[in-house]
Structure 1
Amino acid sequence: MDTGTHVVMGIGLGGMATLDPAIGSNPSLAHAVMLATLIGSQAPDVDTILKLKNNAVYIRNHRGFTHSIPAVAAWSLLIPGILYLFFPEASFFHLWLWSFIAVVLHVFVDIFNAYGTQAVRPFSKKWVALGIINTFDPFIFLSHIVAILIWYAGGHPGFTFLGLYIILAGYYGLRIFMQHQIKQKLHEKYGDIEEIIISPTMKFKQWRIAVKTKSSFHVGRCMDGKLVMLDTFNRVPVPDSAIMKAAKKDDNLSAFLSFSPVYKWEVDTYKDHYEVKFIDLRYRSKGHYPFVAIVRMDKELEILSSYTGWIFSEEKLQKKLKLGSV
């Protein structure tokens, strides 16, 4: 989820913690637990700082190890350990428990996005991405804001947020059912499906769709329960050529391939260089596929420049490639 949603979820957990008599009757402990849930709801996203280095490092590592099982255990001990230094009178057990719940909830809700996490690491480095909830879901965020306002107006925080999370459990169930219906319709339409990738949008009844069959990629949307298929591409294997082998050594392209499950590729030959482009088919927007990886090489197959990330104009692409020159 986005940072704002994780923040309001941290507040919600802190409010719900007051249902515990030990916390509800102790303002100092309640304050410490609120800090624990707020910090715990943000801690796994500390790897966002990797974006300052470059997109390749960020794409390969964001929501990776920091969302893994060892990291969840580490955050759950580190956060209460630090807070206990400032609140020595607080119950370490309660600080640990609610830090643990906050971190687990953060990782859990991220699994439902299309981006996903490596939540089962170290047992597997597979990305778990269910594609049920958009990174920013207006209903989830705004319902938390309403609950916070009810608390501010004098409502009981514990029962307010307990009620909210019961409602949200039903909301998640509804989204799962909606996605299941879309998959059923796709299986009826295409008989040789190997993989279906469904990405939710901020609009409740609109979903992005990418379908991988034995011979083709199909890209479309589901709008108000109706499939609208927009593009079809022949599924052409990536060649085992010298140009492609050289391009795959580039960090930007390597990061793209570790992240994208469905893409098309192009190789263009110019007078003095080659250009290899990979295009992610999951994010079609206004007839354009903005998430790409591009590698430029000279005739000796030495990498001149490369880039991976979001590109919405040729001018921006040329600027990024120039900055990426080696």
Structure 2
Amino acid sequence: MDNVTHALHGLALYAAAATDPALAQDPTAMSAVLWAVSLGSQAPDFDFVVRLFGGDIAYLKHHRGISHSIPAWLIWPTVLALVLWFFFPGHFGLLWWWSFLGVIVHVGMDLLTTYGTAAFWPLSKRRYGWDVLMIVDLVLWAFGALGIYLWWTGVSPERVLWYTILPSIVYLLLRVAVQYYLRSRVRRYYEKTGVDIGRISVIPFLGMFRWNLVVESPQGYQLGTAHLRKGISIKDSYARQGAEQVMAELEHSQVYQVFRWFARHLFLEVKTDEQGQMRAEMADLTFGFSDRLPLMAQVTLDAEGKVLEEKLIRKPDKFRKTDKKTQQNKNHDAK
């Protein structure tokens, strides 16, 4: 999630602490809680320093990695409590607990997005993304703004939580149900058409009705939308490209290693120029949007397979599609 949403959830934890009469009557303790939840709700994203010192490729590899993992759930609260203890002596346990809750809520909300999170390392190396929320969700922002307004007007902490947290939970459960229904609907459609498919992703988009769609098959990938009312619409198709001739050489590329580990739907295309140099372009189709693939990279190899250049592409061109004229805007009613 974005840092604004994380901050709002930190304030929600502060409101929860204020429901404890003993804490609410101790201004120093409440100040300690405010600092603990504010920093704890942001701490896992302190991995931004990786970009400052290691660049974009290193950041892509490490963001939402160990900083969100099980050891970090305990390390972040300990570090924050030790730092804040100098300002709030005698409250180490209080600082640790509320920092811990801030970290846990942060990681939990990140798991609901599409961008993978290595939340369960070292038990699992997999990056989990449950495709329930976009990185920025305006509905959650609205609930947070409502909570701030109610607090400012003097509404009790209990009622603030009742009017904001309960609707937020209902909203999240509704999104989970819609996503599950659309996934089932997509699978039923392909079963009826007899097309053999592999992994599918139903990815959140603006609103509740339209979701982006990625479907893998032995022939390639299909990108489109899954809509509650309009059914399934396939916009683009990407054929699997023969890249076996450079797979061994690409293993020496840091970019390729990161993409192979990070990308949920990795598409790889290899082109050879007149000098025999090969250019491997790769993209994570999970993040395809509006006929563009924003998460792309490029590796250039010489005729002997040596890596000459590797980079992320900030303003990517369109990838070549399969039978664009017939696939573009081809709608399938999945009812």
Tell whether the structures are fold-level matches, with TM greater than 0.5: yes
Q: CA deviation at 1:269?
A: 1.0
Task: Give unpaired runs (5+ residues) of structure 1.
Answer: 315-326
Query: CA deviation digits over 1:118-145, x for unaligned, max 9?
Result: 1111111111110001111000112101
Q: CA deviation at 1:207?
A: 1.3
The one of 220, 234, 247 equivalent to 1:229 is: 234
Stretch moving more, 273-282 or 209-218: 209-218
Task: Give unpaired runs (5+ residues) of structure 2.
Answer: 319-335
In structure 2, give the amino acid aligned to 1:301.
Answer: G
Q: Does 1:128 align with 2:128?
A: yes
- RMSD of equivalent CA atoms: 1.8
In structure 2, give the amino acid aligned to 1:291.
Answer: L
Contact 1:208–1:283 (CA under 8 A) maintained in structure 2: no
Q: Which residue of 1 aligns with 2:2?
A: 2
What is the DSSP-based 3-state SS (H/G/I as helix, E as strand, rest coil) of the residue aligned with 1:276? Answer: strand
What is the DSSP-based 3-state SS (H/G/I as helix, E as strand, rest coil) of the residue aligned with 2:252? Answer: coil
Contact 1:296–1:304 (CA under 8 A) maintained in structure 2: yes
What is the DSSP-based 3-state SS (H/G/I as helix, E as strand, rest coil) of the residue aligned with 2:198? Answer: strand
Q: Which residue of 2 aligns with 1:318?
A: none
In structure 2, give the amino acid aligned to 1:228.
Answer: S
What is the DSSP-based 3-state SS (H/G/I as helix, E as strand, rest coil) of the residue aligned with 1:233? Answer: strand
Q: Which residue of 1 aligns with 2:304?
A: 300
The structure-2 alpha-carbon separation of the partners of 1:159 and 1:238, relative to structure 1 and needing over 3 Å to count, comes to: farther
Q: CA deviation at 1:177?
A: 0.5
Q: CA deviation at 1:305?
A: 1.4
Q: Which residue of 1 aligns with 2:331?
A: none
Q: CA deviation at 1:33?
A: 0.2
Q: TM-score, normalization: structure 2? A: 0.87
Report sequence identity in percent: 28
Query: CA deviation digits over 1:77-125, x for unaligned, max 9?
Result: 2212221211114x33322221111110000110000013111111111
Q: Which residue of 1 aligns with 2:274?
A: 271
Contact 1:281–1:289 (CA under 8 A) maintained in structure 2: yes
Q: Which residue of 1 aligns with 2:32?
A: 32
Contact 1:262–1:280 (CA under 8 A) maintained in structure 2: yes
Q: Which residue of 1 aligns with 2:96?
A: 96
Q: TM-score, normalization: structure 1? A: 0.89
Please give the alpha-carbon distance, in whole angstroms, between the structure 2 residues aligned to 1:255 and 1:197: 20
Contact 1:7–1:41 (CA under 8 A) maintained in structure 2: yes
In structure 2, give the amino acid aligned to 1:203.
Answer: G
Please give the alpha-carbon distance, in whole angstroms, between the structure 1 residues aligned to 2:162 and 2:108: 17
Q: Which residue of 2 aligns with 1:80?
A: 81
In structure 2, give the amino acid aligned to 1:82.
Answer: V
Q: Which runs of 4+ in 1 moved over 6 A?
A: none
Please give the alpha-carbon distance, in whole angstroms, between the structure 2 residues aligned to 1:201 and 1:310: 21
